Structure 1
């Protein structure tokens, strides 16, 4: 690897790490942000609106891919993803300065959502630019390895955001971090510090990227006068190109996205929301798995240069789909053994007229449930209590039983009533000593229980590295130089922004509607298997392709 090639990879990777750091800050702090900017609403609604604002960033990513992809194919790779880093960093910094709802009213949540959408737009243009830029600098036969450095950036960005947040929480205490810490201009809350600190990361990123040269493939195309005059219409308006976009989306990216979000985000959500592991412990365990598994991106990227992109990505999807149920079952058994025993020994039934029990599927969390049967089942799901729905004769009143004993139902107090009854029957209390718990970062390495969990999580991170490590090289090689930035960015961001980004909410909605804590896994398993089938039939191997080409793969 030459000095110039190392500089290209470093510049692209560092800037992208900072972008992902900015993007993940919001997701990690969504609960605190909900209380700050949606305080006019009840607590449950605050969290929902905060998550919807987070989702807005994912939903607009494909539009950012269109805007900046077109710009990158028209004016160049370098200046386009210099623009994206400025937009991303500035909008993140402004979130840290944004007054709360209590200070400026409805303007606060509107401004927050607008900034989230700017972040999503910028990220929609960032990844394609970085991947194309590195691939077009890489020597033939090494593109998988070179672009795999870009693939580490999402994980490293998440790891960096977790490290900053956990460190601040431990240093200043939970209350100061959430609300009490005093900042200039009348702002409060230590949670603002990671957002404000992003201005330093922005300055470093801009400086590094200003030192970079344009990619040789784009320079050659520009000199030859073969640039596309209308990248959008050429990439998506001509069937020969749009067909390849669809194959790339469903034959590679969708499966990669659901495996990636399951191994990093849904695993964290499962620990916190289903197994009721405390925030610090869950974040530390995930952080260790990321540290141990991140080298897999480089390994599988380099391996794809030897055996191909297709077998590694599809193989990763297949193995993940086959093993998710036993892996998450093992997580439950080790992280919260009393809870696992209760799932088998405590029998909770919701007995009701089926005409009064609706569908609980609610991936965006905005539905209102009024029927007692629906309220009871949703409460049980939110507390991760397994239940069975039993049909009663028409007109029968709804009742909930725990091991045969009826639990009084009052909508306002049912969460506490059923929680107490479940604990009395055998479910673990909040401070159950059998649950995994760590008090420091290195303390996670001090007992066998946490080490076993880290090992399971690391296996899932390795699945992520297998499907994600070669994906940039594969997508870059799919398309000709003249529309490469535009054409590869859209399927990537539809797959990761929509199919992947909505996975945690959708999977939990499946859990809530079925009463089965593992039912949400059918979402990633189904899409991973879909990608395996489509990929095997339609995806061609591209590892030996010349990037100075004017034809699709």
Structure 2
């Protein structure tokens, strides 16, 4: 059943009731905290790994890294299946009460968990188990919050109401960044660094013989944000315990139309299964790559490619989140008037068209010296048979050929280069202007010989890059954007960097603001929780989660630091085509109580 424009306008023009505000607060607050918990691990993964994994042999470390990665992205769809079915069987309220409890306790326990030095092999195993629990809980949280709010929203305001849920992922990321910055600054300012100790209790030394030091935050301060999450959990539980079951679910239960096998009904029949496929490929796939490009890949790019220091990069991204987050409410509300489909697909299309010039401008603005240096001619000459596609999402793969080593070195140094085919069997070389540097095959060397060869190669490449004007190996690079504190942003360069990042965040809000309402409207009440959760988490967990690793591999393969953007551009473009042809329009007029 649809409603008339005059009826929709009357609903939109009235103020929110107290009960509606309570529903949004309860759902959004809990979801913010859940995303905060999830992002903490990702932001501090390297520090945590040093506490739990470094004592193991390389093969064991690789297994743990793979499991940690899987928990972050791969297991989310399984959580969607488990908790989606629960939500359709026992109700929305109790299911996402369970998800917030699992997520919150898992995060708190990470903060308490002793390191390898105290508990041995049990410590990393428990850490991975807690991380898996986080991934499963997150898989059930989003669908529950989106469905709960949408089923409480009045006709004509679902986009606006659910846009508060969409804000929570960005606000959770922002909260985690701010907490980390504050705790890191306070702890390191008040506690001195400590020497790094090896397994035998001896101090680890640098190459010059001085003791290697670790900051207080890296040693123990990282636990504080995790332990502090217990207060967020208690607040979330208190708020959610005051909530009532959604009216759509109560109506369905009273009428006896509840599904007895929601997963089978949602995905085991073509009638409903095709809706999930259309939602995945015609909406969520493109939304995911725009979302991850605008938030996560932008942060990855500015830190690892443009070489802005970690603190400054976090400051710039945090400000862009603050400035751009209101876009979720704007586009969510706009979708109540003109529909969800045109806004989401327009966001994907604009992103696909503008990503290349925008990221070029970001490099030119944030690190002008690097941008200028990229005009120099750099060439890799190698036998094509020895070159790999360096896709390495877990950081555990080994690329040992001379070609791979040469390309990885240049890619890590943000060098644009061309690849020239060499005769079969010929050793790979790097040519920087007129300087030619031979690479090496790591598999053919070992021990001291490998270490000496690697050191000589890297010094030679760095010297040639420095001569060519690359700032990465120079003693100082005064052109790169740098913030000394959170409010040190008021120069033309830094404001421009924040403006570019804010533009990327606005594209995120454009595709993400209306998506929850759109997914809710595609699925009938009896399988809604299950139906929307799976495509959402496959799209965001897999297509989005693999974006940084895939982008780096494409850049290394092509020799262009911007080439990795093709991953997002192609997927966003495909979503525009598929969505235009297959996604139904006018869902914003649908009465979701009538299905």
Structure 1 residues 14, 413: closer, same or farther in 2, change over 3 A? farther
CA distance in structure 1 between the partners assigned to 2:326 and 2:121 by the alignment: 45
Counterpart residue number, 1:342? 373
CA distance in structure 2 between the partners assigned to 1:493 and 1:22 by the alignment: 17
Q: Look up the SS of the partner of 1:173 in the other structure.
A: helix
Q: Look up the SS of the partner of 2:380 in the other structure.
A: strand
Superposed CA offset, 1:168-218 (max 9, x none):
122222875995549xxxx95101100111111101100000000111111
Q: Look up the SS of the partner of 2:345 in the other structure.
A: helix
Once the two structures are superposed, the pairs formed by residues 367-446 of structure 1 within 5 Å of their partners are 367-407=397-437, 409=439, 410-429=453-472, 431-444=476-489, 446=490
Counterpart residue number, 2:312? 281
Q: Look up the SS of the partner of 1:344 in the other structure.
A: coil
Counterpart residue number, 1:161? 176
CA distance in structure 2 between the partners assigned to 1:48 and 1:338 by the alignment: 39
User: 1:291 aligned to 315, 322, 340, which one?
Assistant: 322
Q: Does 1:142 align with 2:185?
A: no
Superposed CA offset, 1:115-148 (max 9, x none):
1111010011100100100001000000000000
TM-aligned CA deviation for residue 502 of structure 1: 1.4
Structure 1 residues 192, 489: closer, same or farther in 2, change over 3 A? same
- Flag structure 2 segments of 5+ consecutive residues without an equivalent: 1-15, 195-212, 440-452
**2:363, 2:371 within 8 Å by CA — same for their partners in 1?**
yes
Counterpart residue number, 1:26? 41
User: 1:81 aligned to 82, 96, 112, which one?
Assistant: 96
Counterpart residue number, 2:520? 476
CA distance in structure 2 between the partners assigned to 1:378 and 1:136 by the alignment: 50
Q: Does 1:94 align with 2:109?
A: yes
Counterpart residue number, 1:113? 128
User: 2:572 aligned to 528, 539, 542, which one?
Assistant: 528
CA distance in structure 2 between the partners assigned to 1:246 and 1:463 by the alignment: 24
Structure 1 residues 262, 47: closer, same or farther in 2, change over 3 A? farther
CA distance in structure 2 between the partners assigned to 1:432 and 1:232 by the alignment: 56
TM-aligned CA deviation for residue 405 of structure 1: 1.2
CA distance in structure 2 between the partners assigned to 1:454 and 1:138 by the alignment: 34
Once the two structures are superposed, the pairs formed by residues 319-334 of structure 1 within 5 Å of their partners are 319-334=350-365
* 486-495 or 364-373: bigger deviation: 364-373
TM-aligned CA deviation for residue 51 of structure 1: 7.5
User: 1:246 aligned to 273, 277, 281, which one?
Assistant: 277
Superposed CA offset, 1:443-466 (max 9, x none):
11x100000011111011000000
CA distance in structure 2 between the partners assigned to 1:299 and 1:254 by the alignment: 22
- Flag structure 1 segments of 5+ consecutive residues without an equivalent: none
CA distance in structure 2 between the partners assigned to 1:489 and 1:458 by the alignment: 28
Counterpart residue number, 1:229? 260
**1:288, 1:454 within 8 Å by CA — same for their partners in 2?**
yes
Once the two structures are superposed, the pairs formed by residues 214-225 of structure 1 within 5 Å of their partners are 214-225=245-256
Say how many residue pairs are matched: 544
CA distance in structure 2 between the partners assigned to 1:42 and 1:173 by the alignment: 31
TM-score, normalised on structure 1?
A: 0.94
CA RMSD of aligned residues (A): 2.1
TM-aligned CA deviation for residue 412 of structure 1: 4.4
TM-aligned CA deviation for residue 41 of structure 1: 5.5
Structure 1 residues 80, 263: closer, same or farther in 2, change over 3 A? same
**2:159, 2:336 within 8 Å by CA — same for their partners in 1?**
yes
TM-aligned CA deviation for residue 508 of structure 1: 1.3
User: 1:4 aligned to 19, 23, 30, which one?
Assistant: 19
Counterpart residue number, 2:225? 194
Q: Does 1:203 align with 2:203?
A: no
TM-aligned CA deviation for residue 549 of structure 1: 2.9
Superposed CA offset, 1:364-416 (max 9, x none):
33322222222121122122222222222334333222211123542344334
Structure 1 residues 544, 65: closer, same or farther in 2, change over 3 A? same
Considering only CA atoms, is the larger Rg found in Structure 1 or Structure 2? 2
Structure 1 residues 11, 459: closer, same or farther in 2, change over 3 A? same
CA distance in structure 1 between the partners assigned to 2:228 and 2:393 by the alignment: 33
User: 1:360 aligned to 374, 382, 390, which one?
Assistant: 390
Q: Does 1:449 align with 2:482?
A: no
Q: Does 1:467 align with 2:511?
A: yes
TM-aligned CA deviation for residue 105 of structure 1: 2.8
TM-score, normalised on structure 2?
A: 0.88
Counterpart residue number, 2:589? 544
**1:31, 1:50 within 8 Å by CA — same for their partners in 2?**
no
TM-aligned CA deviation for residue 102 of structure 1: 2.9
Q: Does 1:310 align with 2:341?
A: yes
* 328-337 or 354-363: bigger deviation: 354-363
**2:306, 2:414 within 8 Å by CA — same for their partners in 1?**
yes
User: 1:268 aligned to 277, 284, 299, which one?
Assistant: 299
TM-aligned CA deviation for residue 418 of structure 1: 1.6
Structure 1 residues 395, 244: closer, same or farther in 2, change over 3 A? closer
Q: Look up the SS of the partner of 2:560 in the other structure.
A: coil
Counterpart residue number, 1:71? 86
